[in-house]
Structures are given as C-alpha cells and as structure tokens.
Amino acid sequence: MTIKDTPEEWGIRATETPFVGGKTSVRTDEVVMPGGESAHRDYQVHPGSVAVLALDEEGRVLLIKQYRHPVRHKLWEIPAGLLDVPGENPLHAAQRELYEEAHVKAEDWRVLTDVYTSPGGSDEAVRVFLARGLSEADGQRFASEDEEADMEHARVPVEDLVRGVLAGELHNTCLVVGVLSLVAAQNGDGLEALRPAEAPWPARPFEA
C-alpha cells in the first residue's frame, strides 16, 4: 500500500454561505455519506497561504512575534501571509512576505513542505518555503500596521527551536511544521534534494 494522500470529492446535495468576511468565508455543505445518507459540514473557505523558513549562514531561523487574537497569545512565527490574488504564484507571495515582515531577501528558494492546516474545519492550504542566502532587502522598510506594528524579530538556532517545539513552548503551525521538516530534510536526503521553488501545488494551482 502506498501512503499518499489522494484527491476525492463526495457528492453535495446543497450548499450555502452563511458568512462572508474580508478574506475568508464560512460554507455549509450537505455532503452525501457512504450508504446514501447526508450530513452537514461547516468549514472556512480560505484563499491559501505561504510561509518562509528563512535560514541564515549561522544555522539560525528568522522569526517574528505577533499577537494572534483568536488564541489570545503573542506567538513566535516564521514570516507568512495570504495568497492575495487567485492563481498567484506562491513563490512571489513568499518573497513579498519576507520583504514586508522582515525586510529581507533570499537567493536560494526551495519548497520545504505543503500542509492543510486544519482539514476538518478549513480548506486552507499552506506552502512552506525554505529560503537561504539571506541579505537585507533594498529600499525602504514596508510600513507595518495593525498587529504587525507591534511585531518583534529574532534569529534563533534550529536546535533551540526544536527543543521549544517539543517542550510545548512554540505553537504556530508553520513554525512547528517548518522547523521539524527542515531537520528531517537535513538528516535525510539533504536540503539540495528538496523540491524546486516553483514545484506544482495541486491544492492551489498557479502559473509559473
């Protein structure tokens, strides 16, 4: 048996969208279950996101700390953001987020991993990139607002982050998945074996 996620779509008898927000919405589908009965499933409809694990030459990861109101925490995270335009190239979005949130650019980009953040309640898909060859971005810093105006920055060794994840001290999905995927890649086939930055992404198709 091959352990691999496979696309599949069960029948939908009815659908409605009871809430539409600025970036996301909530949809209710009446889904046909095995055996013919149906059940209602509520979920968040999300445009998708990108995240960037930026690794410097000293083996440190670039982090930001940001207030997240739904969980009432300031979380250490890696730079991340929404795919603002349907079909947007995720690499371009990741480069934009790294610039806006950290005023940093990178020479080498790879796909680290692709995840569904909460597939039982949201269709959000996230592509996590590995960025290396870091340097300060050109031009003026991006003007931050709202939660980002209170953002903190740090560069932390990978081994310290692994300890923090396993100790239950770091909770952000992209940070946890990104750091553990990085270590797995380093201990496996190596970072050069990671997928290229513009590898296909069926969850959010794009034009190269």
Active site residues: 148
φ, ψ of residue 10 to 5 degrees: the values are -80, 160
Cα 73 to Cα 154: distance, rounded to the nearest angstrom: 17
Closest by alpha carbon to 78, among 107, 50, 118?
50
Instruction: Give the C-alpha distances (Å, rounded to integers) separating 10 from 7, 17, 29, 32, 187.
Output: 10, 19, 11, 6, 39
Compute the 3-state secondary structure of the chain and give helix, strand, coil in percent, each to the nearest 5: 25, 40, 35
Residues 6+ apart with CB under 8 A from 64: 76, 77, 78, 79, 101, 102, 151, 152, 153
Q: Which pair of tokens denotes residue 42?
A: 């509520």
What residues are paired with 14 via a beta bridge?
30
Cα 56 to Cα 62: distance, rounded to the nearest angstrom: 8
Calculate the CA 137 to chain-centre distance: 22
